[in-house]
Amino acid sequence: MSSLTNEEIKDLLYNMLKARRFEEKLQEMSRKGQLYGTCHLGIGQEASGVGAALAALHDGDLAILTHRGHNQTIGMGADLSVLMGEMLGKEQGCAGGRGGSMHFFDLEHGNYGETGVVGGTYPIACGMAFTQVYKKTGKAVLCCSGDGSVNTGNFHESLNIASVMKLPVVFFIENNLYAMSTPVENTMSVISLSDRAQAYGIPGMTIDGNDALEVYEIVTKALEYAKSGEGPFLIEALTYRQCGHSKNDDQCYRSQQEVDNWRQEDPIYRLSEYMKENHLATEAELYELERKAFDDVLVALNKAQDMDEAKVQNVDRFVYAE
Ligand SMILES: Cc1ncc(C[n+]2csc(CCOP(=O)(O)OP(=O)(O)O)c2C)c(N)n1
Ligand SMILES: [Mg+2]
């Protein structure tokens, strides 16, 4: 039983669809050579990304994201045209067209943005969480990361200090089974990443990261726990990236059978089926959500194409050290 209303569940699905259509458009543009730089897509990870983002957004909390943070950014309500503008190197893009795919952010909705440094989110999240305590804002921080970051010093030092200082932070790891081409079992001797919570005396849970409603409920509870003064919470969301790691990835490290098996667990398909089975939406309503999400992306692309090209003479704006 979800704590979300029917309308909120529809909105959750709609945001997941928007994220999927947005990324499929980026994939197409990237293949045609229409994008600058690289691009990390989260196709297949929409339940964990959008579900967790919605929990933070509903509670007025803050988030910090990895290089694969489009799903969360869209889930927290960012304007698609500003994101598309960023991808196209436009002045009105969220980072003035300077950052691209790995530098989405949206302060208005509490999204402090992506970082390209694997494991970089942990210490920043601790600093953000300490600020919330110091300033008594009553907010918590959703710290997103991937399985590839959990053997960095940042992970261990940050979990330790967050535990000792009882910081209001939820460490949310999307375990998509690979760090680039490296399978998670090659780099870790524990089965569940959430077992690592024990070493720091904090609660840890492994959840179905392709079940958007479960992700939303657990992340909401974890954020509430963190804000109650109990300290940090670790969540491992099991999911799968259906696309390649980035622009150039022939995916020879995994079998087509494995990809096909995970496609059967597609998070958008699963939520749509749940909604039909529980009479939360009709086929026609689901189709309408699909169509709207598709149109939104095209409108955003048109708007972004009309934006100004980032100006070369502004290139040293925001550069604070040489
Ligand atoms: C400190 C650092 N080391 C290496 C890299 C290169 N790199 C980019 S993504 C990535 C894999 C990250 O894997 P994971 O944390 O599982 O996230 P996923 O890409 O699966 O979402 C690596 C090693 C980096 N960006 N930063
Ligand atoms: Mg990974």
| Residue 134 token pair | 């110091």
CA-nearest residue for atom 6, ligand 1, is 118
Q: Is the CB of 29 under 6 A from ligand 1?
A: no
C-beta of residue 300 within 8 angstroms of C-beta of residue 306: no
In which residue are the tokens 């309308």 written? Answer: 7
Q: Give the DSSP H/E element, type plus range, for residue 285.
A: helix 283-305
Cα separation values, 322 from 73, 95, 133, 316, 318, Å: 30, 20, 34, 10, 11
Q: Is the CB of 177 under 6 A from ligand 1?
A: no
- In tens, the pLDDT along 106-119 reads 999 999 999 999 99
The 3-state DSSP class for residue 206 equals: strand
C-beta of residue 63 within 8 angstroms of C-beta of residue 142: yes
Domains in the chain: ranges and CATH: 6-308 (3.40.50.970)
In the predicted model, what is the mean pLDDT of the chain?
Answer: 97
103 CA → ligand 2 middle, Å:
18
pLDDT < 70 stretches in the chain? none
What local confidence, expressed as pLDDT, does residue 314 receive? 84
Cβ atoms within 10 Å, residue 199: 12
Q: Is the CB of 101 under 6 A from ligand 1?
A: no
Going by C-alpha positions, the residue among 258, 263, 280 that lies closest to residue 271 is 280
DSSP string, 40-99: ---TT-HHHHHHHHHHHHHTT-EEEE-SS-HHHHHHTT--HHHHHHHHTTBTTSTTTTSS
Chain centroid to CA 235: 14
Polymer length in residues for the chain: 322
209 CA → ligand 2 middle, Å:
13
| Residue 291 token pair | 């169509």
pTM value is 0.97
Which atom of ligand 1 lies nearest, measured to the CA of 116? 25
7 CA → ligand 2 middle, Å:
32
Residues contacting 19, CB < 8 A, separation 6+: 42, 46, 49, 50, 70, 71, 74, 75
C-beta of residue 288 within 8 angstroms of C-beta of residue 68: no
Angular region, 97: left φ>0, alpha ψ -120 to 50, beta rest:
left
